Amino acid sequence: MLKSIIGKKVGMTQVFDDKGNLVPVTVVEAGPCVVTNVRTTEKDGYSAVQLAFRDVKEKNLNKAQAGLFKKNNLSLKKILKEFRVADVAGFTVGQEIKADVFKAGDYVDVRAVTKGKGYAGVIKRHNFGMQPTTHGQSDRTRARGSSGGQGPQKVLKGMRMSGHLGGEYVTIQRLLVVNVDIGKNALLIKGAVPAVKTGTLVISSTLKKIPVVGEVKDKAKK
């Protein structure tokens, strides 16, 4: 079974759980996604399912992209992603994948491009501290300071400096699915996820180990 889907970030809100606790959640429009290709080990060397998401006008696609959908008589989509699966049996081109692949209580990994913040200094980008404001240093309070050292006298690769912040792929792991609205194809995921509003999210079953409730209690006692 495919435990992955492509979605769109709608925004954040709050819901009450069964115990009356207020839980912050991110609302995600998860699908519906259309199967556009099925990769098999015999033909392609690996097993995978290709999904498409978000309607788009033909003028916003190149001929190769548009041809893929026209060849299979599918509506044009903007996003294409492949997901590896152990067995492709049961998947056909044109099949719809909806939010019901997940259920409340599942844990997921969410991958997306973070919000771009442009050029940033070291205080905002790397959480550096400010320099002292004494002795006339009014124009150096947010400066990084020296980049050299006691040999070699050069800037080493990986040195934390000012530069572009955000706009990179980030994966947030082991987030709880609080609720699934099948009618609206919506997932309520606990906490915040990367991406701007209306940004594209890739949601998959988590790769991390899910602790059992009893194990958590035993560790707390120790």
Instruction: Tell me what pLDDT residue 172 has.
Output: 92
Domains in the chain, start-ordered, CATH in brackets?
4-118+168-221 (2.40.30.10), 119-165 (no CATH)
Instruction: Tell me what pLDDT residue 222 has.
Output: 55
CA of 86: how far to CAs of 14, 65, 158, 168, 209, in Å? Answer: 36, 27, 38, 29, 19
Closest CA to 192 of 167, 211, 175: 175
Mean pLDDT by 10 residues, the chain (222 residues): 88 90 92 88 90 89 88 88 87 88 91 93 93 81 80 80 93 92 91 91 88 57 56
Instruction: Tell me what pLDDT residue 121 has.
Output: 93
Instruction: Tell me what pLDDT residue 156 has.
Output: 81
Rounded to two decimals, what is the model's pTM?
0.80
Nearest-angstrom CA–CA distance, 193 and 185: 18
Instruction: Tell me what pLDDT residue 116 has.
Output: 92
Cβ atoms of 159 and 4 closer than 8 Å: no
- Which amino acid, residue 189? I
CA 1 to chain centre: 21
DSSP assignment of 142-167 equals T-------SSS-SPPTT---SEE-S-
Nearest-angstrom CA–CA distance, 31 and 52: 9
Instruction: Tell me what pLDDT residue 171 has.
Output: 93
Closest CA to 118 of 188, 73, 152, 165: 165
